Structures are given as structure tokens and as C-alpha cells.
Structure 1
Amino acid sequence: MNWKKIMAVGLAAVSMMVFVTGCGSDTKTANKELPKKIVIGLDDSFPPMGFKDDKGEIVGLDIDMAKEAAKRAGMDVEFKAIDWSSKEAELKSKKIDALWNGLTVSPEREKNILFSNTYMKDKQYIVVRNEDESIKSKADLAGKVVGVQQASTGESALQNDPSGKTVKETKSYADFVSAFMDLGIGRVDAVIADGVIARYLMTKEPGKYKIVEGTDYGVDNFAVGFRKDDTALRDKINGILAEMKKDGTADKIVEKWLGSSADLDKSDAK
């Protein structure tokens, strides 16, 4: 065998080793990008999206959506209650893999969170006690004590709205359930809350609260939040959510918890 043949054989062997090694790396990367189990972080006091029922089990609209998505992805799913005000830190530290709990997309959050496509739309409203006729507009919040959930879209909405500068006091709560309890007993005059939670709690305690019509703070887009580099997982969930919207599964889940699927966003499922 002359030196040219020896060189050709050697190059072929090296090429084969590189090919095999490359294939192994791709497979390893793919397996790493799509975990066998996904851990969902949530505020477990946010009905009807995610909350504990009478048996202490975490249930809700987003829980049903996440369970169905995980099943279709061939993944196990675990739900982990977190401090919602520390949600970005929980995600970044890899204590959780995703945030799926009525999470609103915002430019500030997009700096640290990779969002899925929107699956629901909602609005922030002023909610008061049913008998209260003193608050009929945002301007009427002047001199009032207003409750918000800490690190929520409602808190940001009030801070960024002119009416937020005229309130007597803004009280921040760890969860909406506590805020509504204080509203019911008169410790606060109003609560800025997501329409979905306001309407749900109103059905649980008929005649106790009401939404002040015409006081919304703009449309909120609900999406699933991932770490910035988890594009493969985000893309997988995007595809599954689109399938769920197309085949009617998402409609059934939303209708189960809200009575109507009107708030479901199907713009990515055409």
C-alpha cells in the first residue's frame, strides 16, 4: 500500500469518527433539551387558573391545560407552588422548568422569560364590594385604599396609570384570595384584579363583589414562560397548544372553568 492509499484510509477513519461523535452529541443535546419531566411553577392561590381544592390538591384551568400538553409531549408533569414575586428567579435557577399560571406577557418580563404563543386574553379591572357606589371610574380611586397582588400585572397597571398617583394607599398581597378577603371586610376599598379571577370568585360568593365596568387597564395576553435558552421546549409546547386549539380540547378545558371559551386565543391555530 503506497502512502497515498494510507493517507486516504486515515482520512476516512477520522471522518467516520467525527461523524459518529457528531451524531452522539446531537442526540445528547436533543435529549437534554426535551426533558422526561417538566416542573411547572405556579401561584397555588390563583383560582381558577391554579389553586388548591378542598382536598388540598392543585387544580385549575392551567393545570388541566398543562397536564394535557405534557401527556401529548410524552412527559411527566409536576406542579410546584412558588413565591410568585420570585418567579423569574425560580425559573432561572432551574428549580422549575416553566411558569404556567395566567402569566401575562409584558416587555419587562420578556427580558428574562421566553414566552409561548398566547393561549388566552384577559383584562385587569377594578373590583369593589357589591353595595359600593362610590367607585364608578378610575378617577374615583382618589383617596381610596387599593389592593393588588405583589409583582402582578395589576400592580404594574395601577402604578403606570394616572389614577395610581391619587390613591391613598396601595396594599400588596401575596395572593388574590387574601386581597379579596380584605375587600370583603372593608380593609381595602377596591382590588385591581384579572377578569378571570374576579368573575370566578364572584360566582363563588354571589352578590358580594362586582366589576366596575369600563375600568379595564388594557388587554393582557396569557402565555407559558420558559428560560430564555429553552427554545426546543417552548416550540414543542407551542405546537401542542395549537393542536389542542384545533381539535377542541382547549375549548372544553376553558369552558369547564369559565363557562365559555370566548377568552381563548386561537390566532396560532388557523
Structure 2
Amino acid sequence: MKLCKLIKKRILVGSILTLSIFCVGCSNNSSESTLDKDTLIVGIDDAFAPLGFKDESGEITGFDIDLAKELAKRLNKKIIFQPIDWTMKESELKSGNIDLIWNGYTITDERKNKVDFSVPYLKNKQVIVTLADSNINSKSDLANKKVGAQSESSAVAAMEKEEDLYSSFNGGGAITFEDNNQALMDLEAGRLDAVVADEILVRYYLSLKGEDKFKILEDNFGEEEYGVGIRKGDTGMVDAFNKAYKEMQEDGTLKEISEKWFNKDITIKIE
């Protein structure tokens, strides 16, 4: 019996020691800055045109992609674009599976509790889009209508702030999809009455599908700004990003990339 107790005690002590070493390792990893890495892994939604998406050949392209490549070059880093489940973006960042969230990522107070943000680089609105012949002409007309949006998106968060209106939708809330393209395709097929999504994405989608088929309402669910999500507490990466962004602004690189995708400079200027 004494021998059994001794063996159990040694096993317990060994387990505690192993766990302690593991935790120390975790702590050390969490304190490392993204700047210590040679390669940056950027988490994206690869169906968010024109910011980050797959072209006809399957290559990932877009405004945010060009911006990220240029910034990585200035930080002397290699870069990998990793498509992720957008509903898990903050978890992917926190766990270290990705180093940056960069693809039309709206800055919100709620998200500031989970990540640190770069300076804002683009302005956006959450717009309401319907088919051209729809009788929906204002937000109030959305009552009892089927309204679509991307799951865990800023569009859903913006609608939820208007509780009475949101709960009046058919089904008691928005019908959510894995990405905005699926929602917009359901709208085009007549399975939805309206979609709420980022204006930048909607206008690009309409330019490809035919703007005469749709209408964007004057009413919207608010203006917002895009930023890059950086691991909480990684001030080194935040400072390096903001410095490189300002340099790109001052030497005209931002303007050049913006004009390539939007035919004008729509980037946010920082002092």
C-alpha cells in the first residue's frame, strides 16, 4: 500500500511539474510580439471583394491584399494570406493561428476588448440593398421582411442596436450566411427581401451583376471605419504598423493602391 501511495505521489508531482513548464511556455509565447516573426499570417474572408477575394484563377487579390503586401515589405516580413471562418476571427488571432485580422474589419468598442487596432484606413457604411422593383424604401419597411447578412459581421451588430426594428424582421432577426456573397445571391434569387452589408462590398458586387437590378436605400445602419486587428497588448506591432501606414500615405503608395481599386483615393489620412 505504501509503495502504491508513493508511486501515485510521484506521478502527481510529475504531472504538476509538466503542467507548470507548459504554462510557462504559454506565457512566454503570449508575450512575444508579432514583430519577432519572419512571416506574418493574415486572416481573411476570401469572399470580400474588392478588399480580399479569390479571382477567376483562384488567386487571392484585392485592395487589402495589396496594402498588406506593401506593409509586409516595409517591415521586412514574408506574408501568408489564410482564409478563415470569419465568425472565429478573434479566437484565431488570440490562439496564434493568425497574426493579423485584415479584410474589411470594422473597428467597434466590443472588438476593442478582444484585439488592438491599427489606425483606421477606410470609411464604410452598413447599407441596405434590395432588388430594384422592391417596395422597401426605408428602414421601417423592413418589418416582417426577410433580411440577410453575414454571420458575426458588423452589419448584424449594427442592426441589433436598433432592437425594435431588428426583432420585427421575419423570423425575429437577420438570416445569416457564411459570407456576404451568399446573402446577395439569395437576394438576387428572390429568397431574401433585403441584405445589409458593407457599402464597399455591395457597390463592387452591383458593378459586376448590373446596378439596374438593385437599389441601395438612402437609409443605412451607420458609418464605420476599417482597421487591422492585432493581438491584444502587442504595442510593438501596433506602432510599427501605424508608422509604415503613415510612410505609405506620405510617399503616395496608399493613393496609388486606392486608385487601382476604386479609381480614387478613399483612404483615411492620419496626422
TM interval, shorter chain, is 0.7 to 0.9
The partner residue of 1:239 within 235, 240, 243 is 243
CA deviations over 1:45-91 (Å, ceiling 9, x no partner): 11111010011111011000000000111110000000000001100
> Residue 23 of structure 1 corresponds to which residue in structure 2?
none
The residue that corresponds to 1:151 in the other structure is 152
2:18 is matched with: none
Unaligned 5+ segments in structure 1 are 1-28
Equivalent position SS for 2:220? coil
Q: What is the alpha-carbon distance in structure 2 between the residues aligned to residue 203 and residue 107 of structure 1?
A: 32
Partner secondary structure for residue 212 of structure 1: strand
2:192 to 185, 188, 192: 188
Unaligned runs of 5+ in 2: 1-30
**2:220 & 2:252 partners in 1: Cα distance?**
29
Per the alignment, in what secondary structure is the counterpart of residue 73 of structure 2? helix
CA distance in 2, matches of 1:64, 1:188: 33
Q: Tell me what 1:109 maps to.
A: 111
Structure 1 residues 204, 112: CA separation in 2 closer, same or farther (over 3 Å shift)? same
Tell me how far apart the structure 2 counterparts of residues 191 and 217 of structure 1 sit (CA, whole Å).
12
Secondary structure, aligned partner of 2:205: helix
Report if the CA contact (8 A) 1:34-1:232 is conserved.
Answer: no
How many residue pairs get matched? 237
Measure the CA separation in 2 of the matches of 1:89 and 1:172.
Answer: 20
Q: Which SS does the other structure have where 2:249 is aligned? A: helix
Q: CA deviation at 1:125?
A: 0.6
What SS does the corresponding residue of 2:265 show, helix, strand or coil? coil
Kept in 1, the 8 Å contact 2:93–2:99? The answer is: yes
CA contact (8 A) 2:132 2:215 kept: yes
Question: Corresponding residue for 2:15?
Answer: none
Which position in structure 2 is the counterpart of 1:69? 71
Q: Deviations over 1:226-255 (max 9, x none)?
A: 111221112111111111112221122122
1:34–1:233 contact (8 Å) kept in structure 2: no
Give the 3 Å change call, closer, same or farther, for CA 116–172 of structure 1 in structure 2: same
Match of 2:204 among 200, 207, 216: 200
Say if 2:34 and 2:99, in contact at 8 Å, map to a contact too: no
Which amino acid counterpart does residue 216 of structure 1 have in structure 2?
A: N
Pairing 1:251–2:255 present? yes
> Contact (CA 8 Å) 1:202, 1:210: kept in 2 or not?
no
Give the greater-gyration-radius structure (CA): 1
Q: In 1, are the aligned partners of 2:33 and 2:237 still within 8 Å (CA)?
A: no
Q: Give the drift of 1:116.
A: 0.3
Query: Compared with structure 1, are the counterparts of its residues 143 and 77 closer, same or farther at alpha carbon in structure 2 (3 Å cutoff)?
Result: same
C-alpha distance in structure 2 between counterparts of 1:247 and 1:129, whole Å: 42
Q: Structure 1's 31 and 125: CA in aligned 2 closer, same or farther, altered over 3 A?
A: closer
Match of 1:22 in 2: none
Task: Find the partner of 1:48 among 47, 50, 57.
Answer: 50
Please report the TM-score for the alignment, with normalisation by the length of structure 1.
0.84
Q: State the partner residue of 2:230.
A: 226
Q: 1:41·1:99 contact (CA, 8 Å) conserved in 2?
A: yes
Question: Deviation at 1:165?
Answer: 2.0
Structure 1 Cα separation of the partners of residues 105 and 246 of structure 2:
18
In the alignment, what sits opposite 2:175? 171
Report the residue type matching 1:217 in the other structure: F
Preserved contact between residue 148 and residue 192 of structure 1 (Cα < 8 Å): yes
Code of the aligned partner of 2:255: D
- 8 Å contact 1:130–1:209 — kept in the other structure? yes
Question: Is contact 1:196-1:258 (8 Å) kept?
Answer: no
Cα deviation 1:144-179 (Å, max 9, x = unaligned):
000010000101111111321211132100000100
Give the aligned partner of residue 215 of structure 2. 210
State the identity as a percent.
41
CA separation in 1, counterparts of 2:169 and 2:91?
31
Normalised to the residue count of structure 2, the TM-score between the two structures is 0.84
